[in-house]
Structure 1
């Protein structure tokens, strides 16, 4: 396979389109969340992931699981958790069954902020997808994101 192979070129073009769509969506949501709630996309994502924890078996995430869910390194996730904890949006505690484990919960203030920010996030996502759908090379990707089975 050479660099000019049509399959490789198509694959590269697809990747560029996907990257462009992601960047447009993330940038649009970032601006909306910052302006309306003083949150970054990563902060919102972290609060959202942690708010879905539960007390049942496997309901609390370890830091590696959280990092994977928000697509950050463990060290970047730890720094993000610390910043949100300093703002009173998260609390950390030791795992009752394994004193080496540290878990993180969203505080009441964090849950309130997340509830306030969720409509902003959803509206910004919708707006970004609607704008991207007007760009021919992105329209097929937007339809894929919007299709019911694509969230699986």
Structure 2
């Protein structure tokens, strides 16, 4: 059995800083979205992902993978958005087992109204706190972490899906 490689003081400071920062940024964004748009952060991200496609539709399984969430959590979140008329679900025309989530006009309007406040909150909590070179380092470092932990895409055998893996926040 390999010997445990304990974190040294510098590594522990980085780890603890990452944990605190991600928790605080997440809470800050969640609160801002709830107060300003009546959305949870996962719901906002669903609307963003749908709006980023030409037809405003994405297969539920692809959406879950892209958002790094379980299918059951995605189903719940999409159900909440569907109740508000922001998203609708329909059968996939090319796969009888597939379900598509589709952005409605009302969903697009809610996203358009929520985006400026959300971007301001992202800037306040993270972007404007950092120097330009720190943003570049953070993007590269977290990109590598995400790529290392991303499961291989079926049929490619590679952990890198070729996409940026980024989201709006």
TM-score range, shorter-chain basis? 0.7 to 0.9
Q: CA RMSD in A?
A: 3.0
Per the alignment, do residues 144 and 16 of structure 1 end up closer, same or farther by CA in structure 2, a change over 3 Å counting? same
Instruction: Flag structure 1 segments of 5+ consecutive residues without an equivalent.
Output: 134-139
d(CA) in 1 for partners of 2:7, 2:126: 31
The question of whether the paired residues in 2 share the 8 Å contact of 1:132 and 1:142 is answered with no
Aligned to 2:153: none
Is the aligned partner of 1:96 residue 2:93? yes
Aligned to 1:120: 117
Per the alignment, do residues 14 and 83 of structure 1 end up closer, same or farther by CA in structure 2, a change over 3 Å counting? same
Q: Which has the higher helix share?
A: 1
The question of whether the paired residues in 2 share the 8 Å contact of 1:25 and 1:128 is answered with yes
Work out the number of aligned pairs and report it. Answer: 141
Is the aligned partner of 1:74 residue 2:68? no
TM-score by length of 2: 0.70
d(CA) in 1 for partners of 2:7, 2:124: 36
Instruction: Flag structure 2 segments of 5+ consecutive residues without an equivalent.
Output: 144-163, 165-169
d(CA) in 2 for partners of 1:119, 1:15: 31
Is the aligned partner of 1:144 residue 2:137? yes
TM-score by length of 1: 0.76
